[in-house]
Amino acid sequence: MTSERRLDLFGTDGVRGTANVHPMTADMALLLGRAVAHVFQRGGTTRHRIIIGKDTRLSGYMFEDALAAGICSMGVDVLQVGPMPTPGMAFLTADMRCDAGVMISASHNPYQDNGIKFFSRDGFKLPDEIERRIENLIGSGELDRSPASPDDIGRAKRIDDAAGRYVVFLKKTFPMDLTLDGVRVVLDCANGAAYQVGPTVLEELGAEVFCLGVDPNGRNINDGCGSLHPERTAAKVREVRADVGIALDGD
């Protein structure tokens, strides 16, 4: 009988904590990747795929690569899309018909924190019972008995058109008979995940966009900007006499 050790990794919004401190370590990310790949393999001969996105935190690169290594070690392929808003990852998981999706982000927290959130193939958050199964797999040691053979190791691939897919989807939600021509918008992207997608959508819909928080450096996400500091957006609205100001979260 396999023994299970309760880890209590998952909170209300995935696994979160300070980067490089348990549970947010590269070792744990690798184990999470192995476990989620094991859970979402459905059998058959079709290659399985899991998509990974992130915000702009410095530690995101470490967790992205660790998750990808764990997933590939179980014989599942990985699609890496880079910075992408959390709703975008939910959309892409379903749109690209992946078996699961992963978002690496700690939302409005400072850059020192990070988190890992999983999506089912329909783009929705994992049910509690699936999260418990992932925890139990990690705690039991069962994953050590089921790695892929050398011939079946998964492949990791970067997807260059993921942001474009999401931009097209967002634009389609806007009525075709309307336009943002002549509308002046201040958009603060918090130096976070939407720093590319956000301005692109509004500009392609015709708005004149005044951007803030679109110069991420790995450490400045949510730092004096975005939805935590709407006063900056408000000041810019007054300065440029914009019609509206929008302040986004880091994810």
Question: Among 235, 111, 248, which Cα is nearest to 188's?
Answer: 248
Catalytic residue, chosen from 107, 120, 140, 227, is 107
The β-bridge relationship of strands 244-247 and 184-188 is parallel
- Token pair listed for 7: 């880890």
The answer to whether 3 is a known catalytic residue is no
Chain Cα centroid distance, residue 119: 10
Evaluate whether 116 touches 29 at the Cβ level (below 8 Å): yes
Residue spans of alpha helices (H) in the chain: 26-40, 60-73, 86-95, 128-140, 162-172, 197-204, 230-240
Q: 112: burial class by Cβ within 10 Å (0-12, 13-18, 19+)?
A: middle
Q: What stretch of H or E contains 120? A: strand 113-120
With tokens 């459905």, the residue in question is 42
Catalytic site residues?
107
